[in-house]
Amino acid sequence: MLARFAEIQSGSQLAADVCIIGGGPAGITIARELTGTGLSVLLVESGGLEFDKETQNLYRGVNERGDFSLHKSRFRLFGGTSYVWGGWCAPLDEQDFESRPWVPNSGWPISKEDIDPFYRRAQSLFEIDRYRYQVEEWDFGSTPVFSLDPDKLAHRMWQISPPTEFGPVYVDQLRKSENVRVLLYANVTKVSVDPDGSSISGVTLRDLNGREARVSAAAYVLACGGIETTRLLLTSGQEAPGGLGNTEGLVGRYFMEHPHPDAGGVIFTTAAEDFRPYYEKEFESRNIVVGLGPSADAQRRLGILNCSVAFHGPLYHEPSAGMDSALKLSRALEHWQWPDNAGAHIATVLRDLDDVLRESYLRATDGKIRGFGLIARTEVAPNPDNRITLTSDRDELGMPRVRLDWSVGELERVTVEETVNLVAQEFGRLGVGRVQINQLLLENDDRWSRNLSWFGHHMGTTRMSDSPGQGVVDTNCKVFGTSNLYVASSSVFPTCGYANPTLTIAALAIRLADHLKVLAKSDRLRES
Amino acid sequence: MIHFGRRQFCKARRRLLAGLVSLPVAIVAWPKSPFRSDGIASALRRVFNDSIDHQVAIGHRYLAQEPGEASRQWLAGQVCGDLSMSAGVPAQALLVRLRSLRHDDFCRGDLVEIDGWLLARSEARLFALAALSFPA
């Protein structure tokens, strides 16, 4: 069933077995998994089926770094940020789950093995091929991938979803569901706790016209993304000082996002055809991307984070920061967007104008590809000082807006530098190309971090742990100190690897749905 | 000492890439025109297919980073090893050595960064030798 908040009477009391807060990929995945179970499920979504600016403005907040806007890097409508995503799917690596002595605060309380079955089930949500993320499992035709030194480099692989927009693709299934109700334009403004502080007693819904309702459920799932989930926990603190699940002051800390620096470029010293698996996007009639990154051994030996580099943008001449900025500007303008750091890009284009003009001319006239730009996507180390807090400013619903205060550190810079260096070593050893590194990556300061691309991967702010002193949710994604409040979001990631987060979000959502089903079967949904 | 402006160096850098691509071609062609006793300069001309300017520019850049290596004799020893640059030197052996040095550098991770380009140290030394062999 699908309804708008305006269709129900103001002041209504709604009831459900499971209340899912947020209709993005995580919330929709859980609702789908609970379809046909006999459980009464209510999914409440702030937005509607289409984008609307008023609702989107509720996401406004302050990013102290200023390099991306909080209301432009996530979307508040049914389908969530899948409304604009690129469709890149990849699982985390085995070592991403491990505690690594050289990465402070690393380690998940679960292993890759624990989540593997759920990755496989999540795969079909994205309208992509079966679960296979090893290059050995693919046929690249007459040009195989390079045989890499496993002490240095390993292949990275993404399967590219159409990209699946969860809203339009799954709305009909949920509309037809007999046990799932979707309520649009319903904003949760407060999560209430019962007097003993351990059990959620209800949530308050409001719309932008001042209408209110209340939901009471046996279990609640916050599925609002890495920032909004935190905001709700911090806001709902009347009965729980400092916010729900925040007795240790960890809610909002360890914010992570994947920095995407321009890493330089590669010029071929062999036939471009030899690089085909790395720049062609279609194999076996499927869209995939093959990249490179430091092997687990290299990460350990060099004391670096996980990272990937992939080809982007063919070079008809040679890499240049100016051309990279020109491409970023042109891609943004194609989508009628104005990049947040447009001024810096324009300055870079003007500084490298001769290279930009030469490259543009050769693109138009020559057509012979001589190489590719390299874009990196690096893990960031979980840092408690990278943090979301509430401001005194309030949105149209009276909720405090958020402030994101964070930095990208030296370990991230060294990781990208070492990764590019390893690529240079391997391309040189194989006799296939030479690599130019973005020289900002060689500077021992933070200038490199001032020209990064971001793709809205907000993670880490309610991290998973096996002890309440080190995390906000337990291994079942239940908020510590509560009996019936769960989180389905990238906010539970203790570390983030290099992989785009959506596949992992969906896998964890399926895992949580299974857990809820088991609890329901034994009548323990409200575990108190 | 030659000083390169950024624009000049960019041009040289572009030509370096052409040089890196053409090096294997020179290596293949070399056995047909064996080394003669006209010394290092002549040998380098052959290695670089007579197009020496860009290698010289990169070589100067390397020497600016590694001033302690600015000795033609020392660099010739590093690049050529026991093979002397004289008549009768088995050219193929020298070329094999150059390729092997480069390969070993990449395997060991002994890279040199010049204006962002990550080159094998032996490559950079070859260019430095060219720089000292062809003074402006």
Q: What is the pLDDT of residues B66-118, one digit of tens each?
A: 999 999 889 988 988 876 555 545 666 777 888 999 999 999 999 999 989 99
B92 falls within a domain:
yes
> Domain range for residue B109?
6-133
pLDDT tens readout for residues A177-232: 999 999 999 999 999 998 887 899 999 999 999 999 999 999 999 999 999 999 99
Q: Which residue has the higher pLDDT, A123 or A528?
A: A123
Assign residue A141 the CATH number of its domain: 3.50.50.60
Q: Which of A252-261, A445-454, A512-521, B50-59 has the lowest mean pLDDT?
A: B50-59
pLDDT at residue A508, rounded to an integer: 98
pLDDT tens readout for residues A226-283: 999 999 999 986 666 788 999 999 999 999 999 999 999 999 989 999 999 999 999 9
* DSSP character string of B8-67: HHHHHHHHHHHHHHHHHHHHHHGGGS---SSHHHHHHHHHTTT--HHHHHHHHHHHHH-G
pLDDT at A154 over 90: yes
Query: Residue A330 is inside which H or E element, if any?
Result: helix A321-334
- How far is residue A98's CA from residue A9's CA, in Å, rounded to a whole number? 50
- How far is residue A416's CA from residue A356's CA, in Å, rounded to a whole number? 25
CA distances from B47 to A112, B28, B41, B119 (A): 52, 10, 10, 17
Q: For an interface test with B, which of A317, A318, A448 has the most B Cβ atoms less than 10 Å from its Cβ?
A: A318
pLDDT at A148 over 90: yes
Cis omega (within 30 of 0) for bond into A382? no
Looking at the 3D structure of chain B, how many domains does it have? 1
Contact state of B17 with A431 under an 8 Å Cβ cutoff: no
Looking at the 3D structure of chain A, how many domains does it have? 1
Amino acid making up residue A171: V
| CA-based nearest residue in chain B for residue A371 | B17
B1 falls within a domain:
no
Nearest to A425 among B111, B113, B116 (CB): B111
> Residue A438 CB: number of other CB atoms within 10 A?
24
Contact yes or no for A126/A287 (Cβ under 8 A)? no
B36 falls within a domain:
yes
Contact state of B119 with A434 under an 8 Å Cβ cutoff: yes
Amino acid making up residue B28: V
| CA-based nearest residue in chain B for residue A426 | B106
A301 falls within a domain:
yes
| Apex A392 CA angle, A389 and A394, nearest 5 | 100
- Pairing mode, if any, of strands A12-21 and A212-222? parallel
A25 falls within a domain:
yes
> Domain range for residue A31?
2-316+368-521
Q: For an interface test with A, which of B55, B108, B118 has the most A Cβ atoms less than 10 Å from its Cβ?
A: B118
Window B:10-29, CB contacts with A under 8 Å:
10, 13-14, 17, 20-21, 24
Q: Return the closest-CA partner of residue A313 out of A350, A363, A238.
A: A363
A257 contact partners, CB below 8 Å, separation of at least 6: A380, A454, A456, A457, A458, A459
